[in-house]
A = this chain, B = another copy of it.
Amino acid sequence: MVERVKVAVVGVGNNVSALVQGIALYRASGSVTGIRRPVLEGLGVGDVDFVAAFATSPEKIGRDLSEVIFLPPNNYPRITGELPLSGVTVRRGITDTADATEVDRVAGELAGAEVVLYAAPSGRPETAHAYAEAALRAGAAFINTTADPVARDPQLLDRYARAGLPLLGDDLTSQFGTSAVHHALLRLLEERGLSLTSSYQVNLGGTEDFRNLVENGDTKMRSKLNALASESEAPGRVQVAPLGYLPHLKSHKVAHINIEAQAWGETTVSLDVKLTVHDPSGAAGVNIDLVRMAANALRQRRGGYLDEAAPLLKSPPGTAV
C-alpha cells in the first residue's frame, strides 16, 4: 500500500478547485478518463491528500477547503456529485513579506506536508519567495506554478538541492491548450513542406487568472508569440491578438486559431480552429504530475530541480527571468 502524498496548497483559486475535485472524482469512480499518467512511479492520482491550505481573502480563511473552492470569484464548475468536507481549514496566508515572523509561522503550519503547491496569482515575487523559504524550513518540496521567478533563482535552487528538497517551476504549461494545438499544426505544415503565409491566435477567458493576465499587459502574449514564431521558423508571421477577458466564459478558455499557408503551386491552404477547454483543468492535469514527481523525488532524497518536470513547465531554471 502506497503512502499518500501530503500536500499543502497556497492560494485556493480555480486551479486548486480543479485539483481537489478531480482527485475526489477519480478516487470515487476509479475512472482514468482524461488523465495523462494514471500512475506515476507507483503513485495514482488518488494518492494525494491535502493537509494544509492558505489564502488571504477574509471570507476564505477559517472555512473548509471543500467549501472555499466554490467561493467567488472562483468559477470552475462542480464536477463531482457532492464533495465531503476535507477536514482542512483554510489558514491565513502571508500578506506582509517584511514581517519575518510570518515565514516562521507558516513554516510551522506546513509541518507534515511533503509538497507545497504554490498556486497564488502571479505578480508577487516576494510572496512566492516567502513561501518557498517557509517550505524549505519545513522540509517540504516546493512547486511554483506562477510566472514569478522562484526555481529560476539559482541561490534558492542551490539551497533546495543541498537540503535534498525538490524545487519545481516556474509557470505551468497546460495539459492541453492553445499553444499545443497551434504548435502541432505549424509543425505539421512544416513537415509537409507548406510555406506559412500568416497565422493568428486569439485567446478569450473568464477566470480571475485570465483577468490578471489581461490587466498585467502583454508579457504572456509576447512569450507565446516568440514561441510560435520560432516554431515555424517564420519570425513575424505568427500574431497573437490581445487577450479578451469575457466573464461569461467562466472557467472556459476559447481560442480561435487561423493559419494561412501555401502548398504546391503556391496555392493557398487555410486552417481555422476553435478550441474550447476548461483552463483550470489544464493546470490541474499538470499539477497532479508535478506533485507526484516532487513527492517521489523527496522520498528518494533527490533535491533541487527535476529534469522530468521540464515538459510541464514554461520557464524552467536556465530560461530568462
Is there an interface contact between A198 and B264, defined as CB atoms closer than 8 Å?
A: no
**Of the residues B188, B239, B265, B276, contact of A22 by C-beta under 8 Å:** B265
Give per-residue flags for A168-199: 1 if the beta carbon is below 8 A from chain B beta carbons, else 0. 00000001100011001101110011110110
Contact of A277 with B269 in the complex, beta carbons under 8 Å: yes
Number of interface residues of A (CB under 8 A): 67
A254 in the interface (beta carbon within 8 A): yes
CB neighbours (8 Å) of A91 from chain B are none
A25 to B262, CA, bound (A): 14
Q: From residue A59, how far is it (CB to closest CB) to chain B in Å?
A: 24
Is the C-beta of A284 less than 8 angstroms from some C-beta in chain B?
Answer: yes
Distance of A268 Cα from B77 Cα, bound (Å): 11
Are A274 and B271 neighbours in the complex by a CB distance under 8 Å?
yes
2-40 of chain A: CB within 8 A of chain B: 18, 21-22, 25, 31-37
Which stretch, A110-118, A130-138, A240-248, A294-302, touches the partner chain B? A240-248
1/0 per residue, CB under 8 A from B, across A133-157: the answer is 0000000000000000000000000
CA separation between A249 and B241, bound complex, in Å?
A: 12
Q: Is A79 an interface residue (CB 8 A)?
A: yes
CB pair A256 B184 closer than 8 Å: no
Q: Are A241 and B239 in contact (CB under 8 A)?
A: no
Which residues of A172-229 are within 8 A (CB) of B?
A: 175-176, 180-181, 184-185, 187-189, 192-195, 197-198, 200, 202, 204
Q: How far is the CA of A188 from the CA of B187 in the complex (A)?
A: 12
Return chain B residues, CB-CB under 8 Å to A189. 176
Q: Which residue of chain B lies nearest to A250 when distances are taken between CB atoms in the complex?
A: B198
> Would you call B181 and A248 a contact (CB within 8 A)?
no
Indicate if the CB atoms of A195 and B265 lie closer than 8 Å: no
Q: A interface vs B, CB < 8 Å?
A: 18, 21-22, 25, 31-37, 77, 79, 175-176, 180-181, 184-185, 187-189, 192-195, 197-198, 200, 202, 204, 237, 239, 241-244, 246-249, 254, 256, 258, 261-278, 281-282, 284-285, 288
Q: List 14 A-B contacts (CB under 8 A).
A: A18-B267, A22-B265, A25-B265, A33-B195, A77-B267, A184-B184, A185-B185, A200-B246, A242-B244, A263-B277, A269-B277, A269-B278, A270-B275, A271-B275
Give me the 8 closest cross-chain CB pairs, A-B, nearest first: A36-B193, A241-B244, A264-B285, A198-B248, A22-B265, A34-B262, A267-B278, A267-B281
